[in-house]
Amino acid sequence: MSSTNGEVLENELYPTPAEVVDALLAKLTLRSSDTFLEPCYGTGAIYEKIALPASQKSFAEIQKGIDYLTTDFGQQDVIITNPPFSLTEEFMRKSLKELAPDGTMVYLQRLNYLGATKRLPFWFEIGFPQKTPVIVPRPRFVKGGNDSCEYAWFIWDKGNRLAIPQGLSHIVSIGLVQCDNCKNELRKKDTHCKRCGAATKREAA
């Protein structure tokens, strides 16, 4: 999805940047028996990186003739998607019904989606996500342009598959550097943390 750059793509297809997907999946621990569903396949940015046998993975994609909202996928252990913005409520409701009792559901969405007055009844109905890591740096969805909104992964993690703190946190896209000592965000070219002085040793996940 893209927020305010004025460009609306057909079927609201805004592929999730690879570094954003990689940062999330680096924190995900799948079980060998898990089933996985991607309700909005798009270009396969998420689906193709899920390390499970093809027989345990399913997807929907309107451009491939599979409408998520009218297709019964049964119970699923893991659901991850970047939904069309205009259908997010419908998608979330359906996914929560399909999610296994110890399942993990992850939706990419604008952070301000939590704050609209008109969505108060919706959030009262389904409950806030357990984990909401804000994505930094801000993702770019269309032709390399900057997006004006902050984004987060909205996570219902009953199965504790994601090594992400409860409530609000940050998730740093792979390619940036993070200080091992104080977790300060650094430029990749920085060799020492400007906050605590520690040497940088790894790329953030």
Which tokens hold the place of 112? 């301000």
Q: How many domains does the chain have?
A: 2
The predicted-structure confidence for 71-123, as pLDDT tens digits, reads as follows 999 999 999 999 999 999 999 999 999 999 999 999 999 999 999 999 999 99
105 shares its domain with 127: yes
pTM of the model: 0.81
The predicted-structure confidence for 136-149, as pLDDT tens digits, reads as follows 988 887 654 556 78
167 shares its domain with 181: no
91 shares its domain with 181: no
Mean pLDDT of the chain: 87
The predicted-structure confidence for 157-187, as pLDDT tens digits, reads as follows 999 999 999 999 999 986 656 677 887 666 6
Q: Which ranges of 8-133 does DSSP label H, i.e. alpha helix?
A: 18-25, 88-98, 120-126
Cα distances (angstroms) measured from residue 103 to each of 39, 117, 149, 155, 186: 15, 29, 29, 11, 34
125 shares its domain with 199: no
* 2 in any annotated domain: no
pLDDT of residue 143: 52
57 shares its domain with 89: yes
